[in-house]
């Protein structure tokens, strides 16, 4: 099973979209193995956005992600990284098709509702930044045989 990190960003929380966003992933069949409401500190944001530190937009990223609470989750399922990326839609909301999270809820690139890991390596790194191993819960779901073949 693959895992990925998602963040419902400050604008998603402030606009009351958290439930709708999370429900889409559950309805798809993915399982939350970690989930929490938190305030990201500047230090945590620096770790999360480390690869962007030298870029001109970096200060704005940190300022935004620390401006309000976020909801951070770890999703588990087959091909969860690629599928959640498709469900989110392109970073630029005006390029995101209707039916995607950004296509349905976002207008501005900097306020695009959600973050999701872009690959297996970044997912592992991001999950370790936001969750301790003890915060990730392994459990069977009664519905899994109706969602996942094999």
Q: Which of 25, 35, 34, 31 is nearest to 142 (CA)?
A: 31
Q: Give me the domains of the chain, ranges plus CATH numbers.
A: 2-138 (3.30.70.141)
Q: Known catalytic residue: 64?
A: no
pTM of the predicted model as reported, rounded to 2 decimal places = 0.96
Taking only the tens place, the pLDDT of each residue in 18-69 is 999 999 999 999 999 999 999 999 999 999 999 999 999 999 999 999 999 9
- In sign, the C-alpha dihedral spanning 85, 91, 93, 95 is negative
Q: What confidence category does residue 150 fall into, taking pLDDT thresholds of 50, 70 and 90?
A: confident
């Amino acid at each position: 099973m693959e895992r990925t990190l998602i963040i419902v960003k400050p604008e998603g929380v402030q606009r009351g979209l958290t439930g709708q966003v999370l429900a889409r992933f559950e309805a798809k069949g993915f399982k939350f193995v970690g989930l929490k409401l938190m305030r990201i500190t500047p230090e945590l944001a620096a770790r999360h956005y480390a690869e962007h530190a030298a870029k001109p937009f970096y200060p704005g990223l940190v300022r935004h992600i620390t401006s309000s609470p976020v909801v951070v989750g770890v999703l588990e399922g087959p091909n969860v990284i690629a599928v959640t990326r498709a469900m989110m839609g392109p970073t630029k909301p005006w390029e995101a098709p209707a039916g995607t999270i950004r296509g349905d809820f976002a207008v501005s690139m900097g306020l695009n509702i959600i973050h999701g890991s872009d690959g297996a390596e970044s997912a592992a790194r991001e999950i370790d930044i936001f969750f301790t191993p003890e915060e990730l819960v392994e459990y069977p779901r009664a519905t899994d045989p109706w969602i996942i073949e094999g």
